[in-house]
Chains A and B, each alone.
Chain A
Amino acid sequence: MTIYHNSLTVKIGLFMIVSVLLVVFLFPFYYALITSFKSGSSIFEVSFFPEKLTLENYIAVFEEQPFGKNFLNSLTISIASGLISLLFGMTAALPLGRFRFKGQRLILLAVLIISMFPQVAVLSGMFELIRALGLFNNWLGLVLCYLIFTLPFTVWVLTTFIRNLPVEVEEAAILDGANPWVLLTKIFFPMMRPAIITTSLLVFVVAWNEFLFAMTFTLSNHQRTLPVAIALISGGSQFEVPWGKIMAASAIVTVPMIALVLIFQRQIVSGLTTGAVKG
């Protein structure tokens, strides 16, 4: 389609489509940001440009609940589940992507099926598991149950990547007598850096955004993750929803994600396509 944009009408048409898409997809964030800087009754008056900026809502978010702690919880849990799935995913991806053995198809298929489990279908069993391990209302419990979607995803993306690496290097290493462990740590780790960066990014985003498990398996304000904390921000009654505070909290969560997307755009896109197209 790159060929047809010589004429002026096509250029104008493209410009209009791009503008409409940008407005539709970015205006909500802009509007949330404007609302977050308003206070009192001005929140309920629609305006498209900030008039009087106040940080009242931002201060309230941190003062009226342990939002900083929630932020730390989300960060710790996302990083921990990312690291664990990378470690186990990497060891599994080597044999799945490179070796040939009986049962290989079956394991790949099982990994695929598990990645499609509906979360609700494992909710009661997961509750039992978390309770049995004494991890209810504990961030470690969330790290554990997030592995149900982070690990299959990691295995899948890394397996696809390993399979596409050149065979020659590996053969040379085998001729030199390298065992599978050396093969993994000395040959594949360095070659897989781009895949590792991509997978950790995606796993981080998925864990950072998770809601159902986090809401069901935490009880106290201090143990909650960001999405749950935001979902539970409420006012004195059903009719006094503190929209300013909710928008301030949303902005705080959104800004790091925008930075992440801007910096790692290429890696995220490549990870999404391998993760989804092939799995």
Chain B
Amino acid sequence: MEQRLKSEDTKLSYQKRKVYSAWLLLLPMLVVLLIVAIWPLCYTFFYAFTDASLSTLTNYSFIGFDNFLVQDNGCWYGLVADPLWWYSVWNTIVFAIGSVVIEILLGTIIALVMHTKFIGCSLFRAAMLIPWAIPTVVSAKIWNWMLHDQFGVIDYILVKLQLIANPISWLADHNLTMLTVILVDSWKTAPFVAMLVLAALQMLPNDCYEAAKVDGVHPIKVFFGITLPLIRPALIVAVLFRLIEALRIFDVVYIMTGSAESTMTMSVYARQNLVNFQDLGYGSAASTMLFIVIFFIIAPCLAIMRVDVMKEVH
């Protein structure tokens, strides 16, 4: 009896020691994340309610919700009353939906090709990774050059093939810029989606396919009847993941079209106010709104993923 109690005791103290060391091991990460993530985020929230300016950082006062909405002389001012803000919200939504749809379709096609065995398929996979690996700045610049309205090679090819009569100004025509940016972003990130889908394809059971082959089912029917339902979870994860990235998009848009209104996204809007107009308070208000918008989309996503995560932990 005494023996057993003693072993219980050491077991308990080992458990205690383990919890203690768990927190000790976590401490460095927690401190770093507190400094570089939580603290800056709180500061952004805080600035959103001030009239701080980038040039006079220390000299500011609280103005309540004035950055968001304020009435002055019968006119409404602030973020909520700014049509450009709502236009950038709209642009962001258009960009997110457009790019995610194209990326998922293109990514699935690439993944299906990658999943096939042919001579040089390993080189093909590596080649598909290159657009993902290079800086967005570089790919955006290359596309800017290829889509140049006077000397661009894309217009040159399209005219030579007689698909269009006159060169198109992809980056200047307000009706086209958003489409251009969406296509370039899809070009860069479809390979990434392809990787996710490929991972799912490689885990599919082989026997369904053998049965389908024996029954002589048409490959296209096999894809929609067997493959697609089986890789659906991976596709959903890819959609969520890409959606979050697309909603905070900045570099492609900024490099390709600057702060042009026709493609201005929420991130570009916030940065323009923060840095170009030096309006720290107003820019922070826009950033806060962006965070809230993304958070409302992240929250349900997380709920879905969480189930998965926690199943693994316990």
Instruction: State the main secondary structure of chain B at its contact with A.
Output: helix
For window 103-124 of A, CB contacts with B under 8 Å fall at 104-105, 107-114, 116-124
Interface-side segment among B17-25, B67-75, B95-103: B17-25
CB of B145 within 8 Å of the partner chain:
yes
Distance between Cα atoms of A179 and B13 in the complex (Å): 13
CB of A269 within 8 Å of the partner chain:
yes
Tell me which residues across on chain B come within 8 A of A247, comparing CB atoms.
141-142, 145
Distance between Cα atoms of A174 and B227 in the complex (Å): 44
Partner of B39, one of A129, A151, A160: A129
Interface-side segment among A56-64, A190-198, A249-257: A249-257
CB of A186 within 8 Å of the partner chain:
no
Chain B minimum-CB-distance residue to A230: B137
Tell me which residues across on chain B come within 8 A of A152, comparing CB atoms.
33
For window 60-104 of B, CB contacts with A under 8 Å fall at none
Distance between Cα atoms of A108 and B126 in the complex (Å): 32
CB of A3 within 8 Å of the partner chain:
yes
Tell me which residues across on chain A come within 8 A of B302, comparing CB atoms.
109, 112-113
Distance between Cα atoms of A126 and B44 in the complex (Å): 9
Chain A nearest CB: distance from B109 CB in Å? Answer: 7
Partner of A105, one of B201, B291, B305, B310: B310
Task: Let me know if B134 and A254 touch, CB within 8 A.
Answer: yes
Interface-side segment among B1-9, B174-182, B243-251: B243-251
CB of A66 within 8 Å of the partner chain:
no
CB of A49 within 8 Å of the partner chain:
no
User: Interface residues of A, CB < 8 Å — how many?
Assistant: 105
CB of B12 within 8 Å of the partner chain:
no
Task: Let me know if B32 and A124 touch, CB within 8 A.
Answer: no
Chain B nearest CB: distance from A115 CB in Å? Answer: 9
Chain A nearest CB: distance from B221 CB in Å? Answer: 12
Chain A nearest CB: distance from B222 CB in Å? Answer: 8
Distance between Cα atoms of A125 and B40 in the complex (Å): 4
Render B234-274 as a binary contact track against A, CB cut-off 8 A, 1 for contact.
10011001001001101100110000000000110011001
Chain A minimum-CB-distance residue to B42: A125
Task: Let me know if B210 and A278 touch, CB within 8 A.
Answer: no
Task: Let me know if B196 and A96 touch, CB within 8 A.
Answer: no
Task: Let me know if B270 and A120 touch, CB within 8 A.
Answer: yes
Task: Let me know if B127 and A120 touch, CB within 8 A.
Answer: no
Task: Let me know if A151 and B32 touch, CB within 8 A.
Answer: yes
Chain A minimum-CB-distance residue to B289: A121
Chain B nearest CB: distance from A258 CB in Å? Answer: 6
Distance between Cα atoms of A151 and B29 in the complex (Å): 8
Task: Let me know if B291 and A121 touch, CB within 8 A.
Answer: yes
Partner of B313, one of A35, A104, A121, A127: A104
Chain B minimum-CB-distance residue to A260: B133
Partner of A272, one of B130, B148, B196, B308: B196
CB of A220 within 8 Å of the partner chain:
no
Tell me which residues across on chain A come within 8 A of B234, comparing CB atoms.
277
Task: Let me know if B40 and A28 touch, CB within 8 A.
Answer: no
Task: Let me know if B145 and A32 touch, CB within 8 A.
Answer: yes
CB of A157 within 8 Å of the partner chain:
no
CB of A209 within 8 Å of the partner chain:
yes
Contacts A105-B313, A276-B241 given; does A22 touch B142 at CB 8 Å = no
Tell me which residues across on chain B come within 8 A of A246, comparing CB atoms.
141, 145
Chain B nearest CB: distance from A272 CB in Å? Answer: 5
Distance between Cα atoms of A99 and B83 in the complex (Å): 51
Tell me which residues across on chain A come within 8 A of B153, comparing CB atoms.
31, 46
Distance between Cα atoms of A174 and B136 in the complex (Å): 47
Distance between Cα atoms of A27 and B307 in the complex (Å): 42
Tell me which residues across on chain A come within 8 A of B237, comparing CB atoms.
276-277
Distance between Cα atoms of A95 and B141 in the complex (Å): 44
Chain B minimum-CB-distance residue to A96: B26
Tell me which residues across on chain A come within 8 A of B196, comparing CB atoms.
272-273, 276-277
Tell me which residues across on chain B come within 8 A of A88, comparing CB atoms.
28-29, 32
Interface contacts beyond A26-B127, A102-B19: sample of 10 additional A-B pairs, CB < 8 Å, sorted by A: A1-B115, A5-B118, A25-B128, A92-B30, A113-B298, A121-B291, A124-B43, A211-B255, A227-B138, A253-B134
- In the assembled complex, 25 residue pairs joining A and B whose CB atoms fall closer than 8 Å, in A order, are A1-B115, A3-B213, A21-B128, A31-B145, A92-B26, A99-B22, A101-B23, A109-B302, A112-B302, A113-B298, A120-B248, A121-B270, A121-B287, A121-B288, A123-B283, A124-B287, A129-B40, A145-B36, A148-B40, A163-B312, A205-B133, A228-B137, A268-B133, A273-B196, A273-B199
